[in-house]
Chain A
Amino acid sequence: MVPFAGWYMPIQYAGVVQEHLCVRDGVGIFDVSHMGEIDISGKDAKKFLQTLVTNDVDKLSDRAILYALMCYENGGVVDDLLVHRLAEDHYFLCVNASNADKDYQWVLDRARSFQVEARNISAETVQLALQGKHSEPLLQRLSDVALDDIKYYHFKTGKIHNIDCIIARTGYTGEDGFEIYFNAEHAERVFGKIIEEGRDFGLQPIGLGARDTLRLEMGYALYGNEIGAASSPLEAGLGWVIKLQKQAEFAGREALRRQKESGLKRKLAGIKLLDRGVPRSHYRVLREGHPVGEITSGTFSPSLNCGIAMCYVSSECAEKGTRLEVEIRSQRVPAEVVPLPFVPSRVKK
């Protein structure tokens, strides 16, 4: 167990590699109750969210979900988050645990001129993630609503083991699966029931270690590593969730527009080691002996059986196939730029 953003969380239950492969080959359950949730309701809810996040909330229909960022005026990232639309005047945000209090304050400060109510419901909300190809048949056994027609980045409200839940087809692994939200008083009962029912499917609980290797194989950004207050989300390749053209003015828009116009000096790239070794965050990346960047996240990929990493490198080095080197202690291990994700996504589109 390790302290993580004010919570005690297991790095592993059975072992990182074994848990990782359990999710890739079957199904795993993550207790991700540490994630923060903020409820936003009121007449101006949509208008407010349009000014709060970078993506276009106008595009959301009821029971649909949007990945988005909240940015500072300088374009740096306050947090990345999921926006769930319950109704035109009612949403909930899922944010990073490490940022939950900061985010809530950020939301409150910006909500003042709108007719909205923002509530931090993190403490009373449990989030479980069921990930892997057996997620749907397993969860269907316990659910009173049909799951097969929940599309990716959509959700339903329904009962799981007789408890009211939000059942969303989202995740952080690249596998098909669900993220489930419900009141914390039922946490043990629901978790226990899923574990029990999951025996038929080889379900295992998954710790933080495999959560990181799974997301890294998908090239998903992690706040504090690939994105943060001091780095540009455009460089992180998140331009697709930044709608500079939308009508509402949002924090960071001008800075991001300027960044886009003047061109990006560096880019986030995926690299694969061509020799043995494990790349880790902050290791230097070189090209023909000259430093060109730094690793943000790196690990040994259990699916590919080699070292993989994401790194910021000068833009001309981010082209697929570029030969680079990673400085691992005193050695320079050859690496190659590869397209992200490292492993093909199997989410249900």
Chain B
Amino acid sequence: MEVPKDLLYTEEHEWIRVKGNKGVIGITHFAQDQLGDVVFVELPQKGATVSQSKTFGVVESVKTVSDLYGPVGGAVTAVNQELESHPEQVNSDPYGKGWMIEVEISSAKELENLLSPEKYAERIKEETH
């Protein structure tokens, strides 16, 4: 399972790529693999506020439905509109074209609550056993 080194992770399998005061958010390779074929992603509007550990959206696969949890709090500055017509990009490219939202991080301190790539890799190892 791919766990890129330049990202931070949540216990619920979201990732965030931090650049300055902005963060791009998606779900991990492990998460998309567990969900199977993603057919619909429900995301907040640009300008909405998301909070750390609170749901900001929903991802529906053929098999199941799963909530999306904010890795950090902040205002949504961009939404991946492509997922509306191509939700399968969450499966094919979870760390790239499958990104979901970009937020302006309101408190950098919240990043300290997230998992490092090493910790996250351990975490999913536990879950697959």
Contacts and interface: CB of A to CB of B under 8 A. Distances in A.
Interface string A7-22: 0000110011110000
Given A12-B36, A15-B36, A277 B62 contact: no
Interface string A253-278: 00000000000000000000000111
A302 interface: yes
Given A300-B40, A302-B62, 8 more contacts: A12-B36, A12-B63, A15-B36, A16-B36, A16-B62, A276-B84, A277-B60, A329-B58
A299 interface: yes
Nearest to B84: A276
A302 B61 CA distance: 11
A276 B36 CA distance: 18
A15 B33 CA distance: 9
A299 B62 CA distance: 6
A213 interface: yes
Interface in B101-120: none
A12 B34 CA distance: 11
B48 interface: no
B37 interface: yes
B36 A209 contact: yes
Given A15-B37, A17-B37, A277-B40, A300 B65 contact: no
Task: Report the contact-size class of chain A (Cβ under 8 Å from the partner).
Answer: 10 to 19
A284 interface: no
A248 B66 CA distance: 51
10 contacts: A12-B36, A12-B63, A15-B37, A16-B37, A16-B63, A17-B62, A213-B62, A277-B60, A278-B39, A329-B58
Interface string B20-42: 00000000000000001101100
Interface residues of B, number: 10
Given A15-B36, A16-B36, A16-B37, A300 B58 contact: no
A278 B36 contact: no
Interface string B60-95: 101101000000000000000000100000000000
A213 B63 CA distance: 9
B74 to A, nearest CB: 23
Interface of A: 11-12, 15-18, 209, 213, 276-278, 280, 299-300, 302, 329
Nearest to A277: B40
Interface of B: 36-37, 39-40, 58, 60, 62-63, 65, 84
Main secondary structure of the interface of A (DSSP, over half): loop
A294 B26 CA distance: 33
B36 A300 contact: no
A6 B40 CA distance: 32
A278 B60 contact: yes
Contacts of A213: 62
A214 B122 CA distance: 37
Nearest to A306: B39
B40 A280 contact: no
Contacts of B40: 276-278, 300
Contacts of A209: 36, 62-63
Nearest to B91: A15
A299 B37 CA distance: 12
B83 to A, nearest CB: 11
A276 B63 CA distance: 16
